[in-house]
Structure 1
Amino acid sequence: MDRTQRMYILAMFFAMSLWAIAWPCSKILVQQAHPYLIALMRFALVSACILPLMLLFRVSFSLSKTQCFFVCIAGVLNALYSLLFFQGLMFGDAGRAGVISTTLSPIFGSLLSMFFGGMSISMREKFGLLLGFVSGIFLLHIQEFSSLLNPFNLFFIGAAFSWALVTLLSKKVHIHPLKFNGYVSCISTLLFLPYLFLGEGIEESLRAA
C-alpha cells in the first residue's frame, strides 16, 4: 500500500467519523428547532463557505445544460435526504438511524450502479456488502425483517436511498467537487427558504430554539 492509498483510507475514516458524530448532534438539534429551519441554516452555511472557496481556488462557476440538469436533481434529492434525516430523528433513535443509513447507502448505490450504470461488482465486493448488511442487522437487534420497516425506520431507509442517488449523480456529472457541492447546497437552500415565509418565520423559529 503506497502513501496515496494510506492517505485516502485515513481521509475516508475521518469523513465517516464526522458523519457518525452528525447523528447524535442532529438528534439534539431537532429537539430545539424545527427540522426545516435546521436544514435551511445548514445548507445556507455550507453555501456561504463553499462559494468563497470556489473563488479562492479559481473554480469556474459555469455549467453546461447537462451539468445543470444533474445538479438540480441532486439538489432536490439532497434536500429530500435532509428532510427525511431530520424528520426521522424527531421520532427515531440517532444510533439506529446511523446504522441504517450507513449500511444501506452503499448497498443501494451498488445496486443502482449495477442495474442502471452497467457497473460490474466483484464477488469480494458482493461479500463485503452482504457482510455489512448482516452486521447492521445485528447492530439493530432485529429479530424479524419486518421490524426494519416500521414507520420511523422508513425515514432513514428513504434517506439512505436518496443519498445513494446523490452519490451516483456526483460521479455522473463530472464537475469539480466544490462546484457540485456549492450548487447543490444553494439549490437545497432555496428549496427550504419558503419555510421562513410559510412557516413560523425566522424570528419565532430562532426564539423557540
Structure 2
Amino acid sequence: MDRSDFKYYGLLVIAMFFWGLSWPLSQIMVGQATPFQVGFFRFLIASIVYLVLLFSTNFKKIRTYTWKSIRDFTILGILGIFGYGTLFLTAMTFTTSSQGAVIAGIQPALLAISSYFIFGEKLHPKWRYFGIILSFIGVIIIIGVQPFIDFNVDHLIGNVIVFIAFLFWCGYTLYGKKVMKKHSSLETTTWSSFTGMLMFGMAAIIENKWILIAEVSWDFWLNITLLGLFTTVVSFFLYFYVIGKIGAVRSGVFINLVPVFGTLLSIVILHQENASTLWIGLIIISMGILLLNYPKDFSVKQEENGLTNK
C-alpha cells in the first residue's frame, strides 16, 4: 500500500461522513417541511453550484445537446433525483434514520445483481455471490424483524420504502453509466439534478403547503445548506476525484462506511435507541459487502457506483 494513498482514503472518509449525515438531517427536516419542499431546496442549492461549475468549465459543449441528451438527463432526474429523493424523504417520515442508513448498505449488492441481468456482468470467483446473499439476509433482518420487535409497523413501511428507493437508485446508476459514455460526469449530474429540482418544485407548488416554509427556524436552512452543498456537491467531487486517482473498485469499498456513519450519527444527533437486531443486520450486511469486494480483482472492470448520493 502506497503511503501517498492515505490522503485519498481520508478524502473518501470525509465524503462518506457527509453521505451518512444526510440520514439524520433528512429525518429532522421532514418533520419541519414536506419531502417535496426539502428536495426542492436541497437540489436548488446543488444545481446552482453545478451550473456555475459547468458553465465556467464546459460552456461550448452545452450548446451541442440534442433532444436525446435532454431525454437522457430527464430520465436520470426522474430516477435518481426526484424518484429516489421522494421515496427516501417519505421513508424518513415512517422509519428511523438509523434503520434506513443500515439498509443503504445493500446498494453494492443491488448494483451487482442489476448489472448481471442488464449488462451480463459477472462476479469472479462465484463465491462472491454469497456476499450478495448475506447482504440481503441483513436487510431482511432489519426490514422484517426490527419493526415487530419495537411493535412499530410504521418502521416496516418506511424500511420497505427505503428498499424501493434504492431500486430507483440502481436504475439511475446503471442508466447513468450509459449516459456518461457520451457526457462527462459533471454534465450528467448537473442536468439530472436540475431536472430533478424542477420536478420537486412543481410537486411542491401542486402540494401548496408553503406556509410550512414560512414557519421553519434557522436550523432548517442550515441543514438544507449542509445537504445541498456538502452532501450533494462536495462529497460527489471528492468521491470522483479519488476514483480518478486510485480507481473505482478501491474507492467503492468505502461506500460501506455510509451505513456506519448514518447509524452512529443518528444515535448522536437524534438520540435514537437501536435494538440488537439492527446491529446484527449491520454486521451481516458489512460481512456480505466485504465478501463481495474481496479479493481485489473483478472479472469485469467496475465503474462508478453512483453519480450523486443520498
TM-score by length of 1: 0.84
Per the alignment, residue 109 of structure 1 pairs with 111
Question: What SS is found at the alignment partner of 1:119?
Answer: coil
| Alignment: residue pair count | 205
**In 2, Cα distance between equivalents of 1:177 and 1:3:** 28
Give the CA deviation at 1:6.
5.3
Counterpart-to-counterpart distance in 2, 1:71 and 1:127 = 35
Using the TM superposition, give the Cα deviation of residue 184 of structure 1 relative to its aligned residue in structure 2, in angstroms.
Answer: 0.5
Partner Cα separation in structure 2 for residue 105 and residue 173 of structure 1 = 20
Change (3 A) 1:3 1:134: farther
- Aligned residue number for residue 267 of structure 2: none
Question: Distance between the aligned counterparts of 1:196 and 1:5, measured in 2?
Answer: 44
Matches of 2:196 and 2:143 in 1, distance apart? 34
Whole-angstrom distance in 1 between the partners of 2:177 and 2:57: 21
Residue in structure 2 matching 1:159, options 165, 175, 200:
165
Amino acid at match of 1:76: I
CA offsets per residue over residues 167-192 of structure 1, 9 Å max, x none? Answer: 11221112211111110111111112
The answer for the alignment partner of 2:40 in structure 1 is 40
| Sequence identity (%) | 24
- Which position in structure 1 is the counterpart of 2:232? none
2:24 corresponding residue in structure 1: 24
Range with bigger deviation, 65-74 or 177-186: 65-74
Name the residue aligned to 2:189: 181
Q: Distance in 1 between matches of 2:143 and 2:169?
A: 24
Do the aligned partners of 2:110 and 2:167 also contact (CA within 8 Å) in 1? yes
Cα distance change, pair 16–124 in 1 and its aligned pair in 2 (3 A):
farther
What is residue 52 of structure 1 aligned with on the other side? 52
1:126: how far off?
Answer: 2.6
Alignment of 1:1-209 (within 5 A): 1-2=1-2, 9-58=9-58, 60-61=61-62, 62-77=64-79, 78-100=81-103, 102-122=104-124, 123=126, 125-136=128-139, 140=142, 143=145, 150-174=156-180, 175-200=183-208, 202=210, 204-209=211-216
Distance 2:204 2:164 in 1: 25
CA 1:42–1:143: 2 relative to 1, 3 Å: closer
4+ residue runs over 6 A deviation: 146-149
1:199 deviates by 2.4
| 5+ long unaligned stretches in structure 2 | 217-310
Seen in structure 2, the aligned counterparts of structure 1 residues 196 and 111 have a Cα distance that, compared at 3 Å, is closer
Greater Cα offset, 169-178 or 147-156: 147-156
| Structure 1 SS opposite 2:123 | coil
TM-aligned CA distance change 1:115 to 1:93, over 3 Å: same
Q: 1:199 to 1:143 in 2, by over 3 A?
A: closer
Task: Determine helix, strand or coil for the equivalent of 2:93.
Answer: helix
Shift of the 126–16 alpha-carbon distance from structure 1 to 2, 3 Å rule, reads farther
**Distance change (3 Å), C-alpha of 1:2 and 1:172:** farther
